[in-house]
């Protein structure tokens, strides 16, 4: 690997030239890592809904041309000045948020919202010099959330890389670098259901099913899946979901339905859709006295959460979470170990696999709502 150390690497990358247009496989130049940066050879990446959202660029600043991708696994090729935690050959998961280990958030046991490396969807350059490490014929191609994994090689800030067990299969654990950890941590770290308790999960996409998986691991006895798509229930059973509620089947609000099913409300709820009505329902369906609702889904920027203050005064708790409250460098390696010791199952999240040359097929599958995670093989 050291033969490329300090050199520009030419490799293939899938470039989004403009909003909503198919990605184009191009030869790009990837500059060497600068101070506190690491260049990583990406072996496997997967498609997350966030990639599609920013590729469509309907609700945010369009930043193009850009290399998307943020769920991935790879191997360190070279490190820049000041990097001591990683060396060439280390296996890593790039993460869209980071952990500088120096700021107040990183030093706090309660927060994972690093001041320096918190997600920034508008920034298309590296922090060190505000420049891109990607170019085509001298023209810069922008980064995406500090990861840009739809490239055979990428450059990432050291604080956004989790060093993991080299024996862990990267084609499986790569899904832990975003959505699966988000849902899993929302349940295990934030909702913290007790053994034998009841949990409602709103939204049974990949993140919601990861939240259900967390409830299963925690030993919840009733896991109620709430979704407008009845076709999702059969698959959800694999993740521990015991009952299914489709709000469309009832004339009354779904929170009332759940309260009736559970003798006053569930012990915990996790909201994974980002729809404001579902967020309110998730809060109002928890039991008074001890119920805890956790919001995971990202709402529309103008959405307003409305509920009676009595719902809080009657001892219900409302919490929010970001990336499942996991600190990327400190915590994600232990989530990988949960998979390695068979406590956590990842194979069931992976429903499709495609070679890198067919990356647009992964986008088509997600736009059709087919499957959960599609693994993209970079060397195929």
Given the residues 103, 123, 128, 377, select the one marked as catalytic. 103
Given the residues 4, 45, 50, 149, select the one marked as catalytic. 50
Please indicate whether residue 147 is annotated as part of the active site.
no
95: left (phi over 0), alpha (psi -120 to 50) or beta: beta
Please indicate whether residue 49 is annotated as part of the active site.
yes
Given the residues 26, 29, 118, 337, select the one marked as catalytic. 118
- 344 DSSP 8-state letter: S
Length of the chain equals 380
SS3 track for 198-213: EEEEECCCHHHHHHHH
57: left (phi over 0), alpha (psi -120 to 50) or beta: left
Given the residues 71, 152, 213, 284, select the one marked as catalytic. 71
Given the residues 11, 26, 29, 49, select the one marked as catalytic. 49
Given the residues 48, 160, 174, 285, select the one marked as catalytic. 48
Give the H or E element holding residue 162.
strand 161-163
- Nearest in space to 68 (alpha carbons), one of 306, 366, 315: 366
Please indicate whether residue 70 is annotated as part of the active site.
yes
Given the residues 160, 174, 178, 374, select the one marked as catalytic. 178
Burial of 380 from C-beta contacts in 10 A (0-12 / 13-18 / 19+): exposed
Strand partners, 135: 29, 140
Please indicate whether residue 149 is annotated as part of the active site.
no
Given the residues 66, 70, 222, 287, select the one marked as catalytic. 70
Given the residues 4, 91, 100, 149, select the one marked as catalytic. 100
Given the residues 39, 114, 152, 272, select the one marked as catalytic. 114
Please indicate whether residue 178 is annotated as part of the active site.
yes
Residue 271, token pair as written in the block:
């909201």
Please indicate whether residue 118 is annotated as part of the active site.
yes
Given the residues 106, 160, 272, 374, select the one marked as catalytic. 106
- Residues whose CB is less than 8 angstroms from the CB of residue 346 and which lie 6 or more positions away in sequence, other chains included: 172, 173, 175, 176, 180, 339
Given the residues 232, 316, 329, 373, select the one marked as catalytic. 373
Please indicate whether residue 285 is annotated as part of the active site.
no
- Nearest in space to 239 (alpha carbons), one of 274, 315, 187: 187
Please indicate whether residue 316 is annotated as part of the active site.
no
The pairing of strands 292-295 and 317-320 is parallel
Q: Could you give the residue numbers annotated as active site?
A: 48-50, 70-71, 100, 103, 106, 114, 118, 178, 373
């Amino acid at each position: 690997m050291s033969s490329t150390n300090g050199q520009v690497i030419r490799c293939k990358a899938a470039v989004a030239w403009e909003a909503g247009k198919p990605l184009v496989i191009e030869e790009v130049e990837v500059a060497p890592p600068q101070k506190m940066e690491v260049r990583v050879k990406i072996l496997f990446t997967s498609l997350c809904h966030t990639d599609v959202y920013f590729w469509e660029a309907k609700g945010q600043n369009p930043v193009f041309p850009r290399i998307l991708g943020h769920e991935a696994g790879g191997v360190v090729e070279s490190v820049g000045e000041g990097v001591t935690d990683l060396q060439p050959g280390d296996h890593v998961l790039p993460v869209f948020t980071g952990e500088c280990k120096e700021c107040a958030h990183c030093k706090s046991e309660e927060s994972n919202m690093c001041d320096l490396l918190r997600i920034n969807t508008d920034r298309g350059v590296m922090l060190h010099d505000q420049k891109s490490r990607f170019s085509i014929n001298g023209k810069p191609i922008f980064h995406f959330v500090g990861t840009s994994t739809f490239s055979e090689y990428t450059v990432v800030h050291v604080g956004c890389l989790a060093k993991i067990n080299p024996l862990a299969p990267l084609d499986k654990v790569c899904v832990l670098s975003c959505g699966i950890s988000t849902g899993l941590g929302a349940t295990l770290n934030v909702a913290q259901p007790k053994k034998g308790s009841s949990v409602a999960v709103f939204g049974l996409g990949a993140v919601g099913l990861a939240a259900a998986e967390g409830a299963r691991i925690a030993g919840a006895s009733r896991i109620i899946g709430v979704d407008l798509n009845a076709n999702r229930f059969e698959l959800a059973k694999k993740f521990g979901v015991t009952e299914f509620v489709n709000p469309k089947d009832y004339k009354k609000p779904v929170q009332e339905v759940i309260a009736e099913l559970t003798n006053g409300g569930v012990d915990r709820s996790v909201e994974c859709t980002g729809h404001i009505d579902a967020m309110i329902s998730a809060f109002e369906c928890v039991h008074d006295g001890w119920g805890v609702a956790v919001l995971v889904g990202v709402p529309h920027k103008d959405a307003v959460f409305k509920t009676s203050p009595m719902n809080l005064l009657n001892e219900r708790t409302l919490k929010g979470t970001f990336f499942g409250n996991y600190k990327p460098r400190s915590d994600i390696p232990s989530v990988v170990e949960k998979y390695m010791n068979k406590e956590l199952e990842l194979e069931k999240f992976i429903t499709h696999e495609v070679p890198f040359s067919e990356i647009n097929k992964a986008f088509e599958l997600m736009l059709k709502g087919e499957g959960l995670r599609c693994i993209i093989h970079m060397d195929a």
